[in-house]
Amino acid sequence: MRIGELSERTGASRRLLRYYEEQGLIAAGRCANGYRAYDEATVDRVTQIRGLLDAGLPTRIIKQILPCLSRPRTIHFEDATPEMIATLEGELAGMSARIACLTRNRDAIAEYLAAVRVDR
């Protein structure tokens, strides 16, 4: 598939897909006319990348763990170095803190809405 179709199917802009390629997160073949050509598995790969980015992981870490992803949302990392484990533990702690903050904010907004609705 060409970059436009990949963009439509994943919701990632063409520019973002080229950036992912530049960073070594995805790979494209080339057609005879020089256009990028992606295989079907790239759709899942882009979905994984976007999910990991949304979770707060930087691309440098994503690049390291991508080879261990066998399918969306499943990570297999058999030879993790102590440094990688420490890095991922730090990322996990950061995600947990962001989740706690989002939960507090969501609960505060829900309470506000409930109070506003009662007053109406």
Q: Which residue did the predictor score with more confidence, 83 or 50?
A: 50
C-alpha to C-alpha distance for 90 and 83, rounded to whole angstroms: 11
C-alpha to C-alpha distance for 1 and 76, rounded to whole angstroms: 28
Query: Domain map of the chain by residue range?
Result: 1-76, 80-120
- Mean pLDDT to the nearest integer, 52-62: 87
Tokens describing residue 98: 């962001």
Question: What is the percent of the chain where pLDDT is above 90?
Answer: 50
- Mean pLDDT to the nearest integer, 4-8: 95
Lowest mean pLDDT among 40-49, 54-63, 104-113: 54-63
Query: Which of 76, 72, 15, 74 shows the shortest CA–CA distance to 46?
Result: 72
> What's the pLDDT at 15?
96
CATH class as words, domain 1-76? mainly alpha
